[in-house]
Structure 1
């Protein structure tokens, strides 16, 4: 699953969890957001590893937020679900290993770094609570 889709489903799952103080099973969340349960469990596992959700195993298990929705930034979620390089980094594949290509690659690298910093900054200004409004 592409990173941006994981991010979208992850956000939706966290919104579902933010709307209740009780644990929710992955099946319940998957049904609510219309996501394939196996894919959602992987997303929730990544969010668990990042300390965003608490994972309880077993028959009475489920998922719940570890913090208040206003304390969880979208940047934190995006970074927890980050697996592959951003799509815009593919621009670097268009430059060659010749003098001109190397110069262009340096320029592209600066642009890519700026994009990453800006995306992180913008996402850092929003929380799950903002999505509940």
Structure 2
């Protein structure tokens, strides 16, 4: 669940930056989107590492978009903010190491693979620009 919150806050931060050419501090973005500033800085750091935003340190600094909003797909943002453990893998924890659990685990694994594929497919069809409009 934390992964989805991170994705939601990350997208909102990108929309704030896409809506205006101004630089914003992490505190200003956090206030606009209703996010805790420390948590947002971690998200902004990941988005900076991925090359979607730029940060200028010091007085008069702040965050700006590094790419055009139409060039940033939601799938790219999701993948840059997600952890190595896919969000649905907790489902596998419910299967045991017995024969029935192993059979169900194979089915669960296929279902989760299909879900991840569909999620990424849908997210590729949207960009940050779509959210700004």
Into which bin does the TM-score normalised by the smaller protein fall? Answer: over 0.9
SS of residue paired to 1:97:
coil
TM (norm. structure 2) is 0.94
Q: Distance in 2 between matches of 1:41 and 1:23?
A: 15
The answer as to whether partners of 2:74 and 2:124 remain within 8 angstroms in 1 is yes
Task: Give the corresponding residue for 2:91.
Answer: 91
SS of residue paired to 2:88:
helix
Q: Gaps (5+ residues) in structure 2? A: none
SS of residue paired to 1:63:
strand
Q: Distance in 1 between matches of 2:31 and 2:98?
A: 52
Cα deviation, residue 83, structure 1: 2.0
Q: Gaps (5+ residues) in structure 1? A: none
Task: Give the corresponding residue for 1:124.
Answer: 124
Task: Give the corresponding residue for 2:102.
Answer: 102
TM (norm. structure 1) is 0.94
Structure 1 range deviating more: 80-89 or 102-111:
80-89
Task: Give the corresponding residue for 2:56.
Answer: 56
Cα deviation, residue 32, structure 1: 1.1
Q: What is the Cα-based RMSD across aligned positions, in Å?
A: 1.4
Structure 1 range deviating more: 61-70 or 75-84:
75-84
Deviation >6 Å, runs of 4+: none
Cα deviation, residue 45, structure 1: 0.3
Aligned residue pairs, count: 133
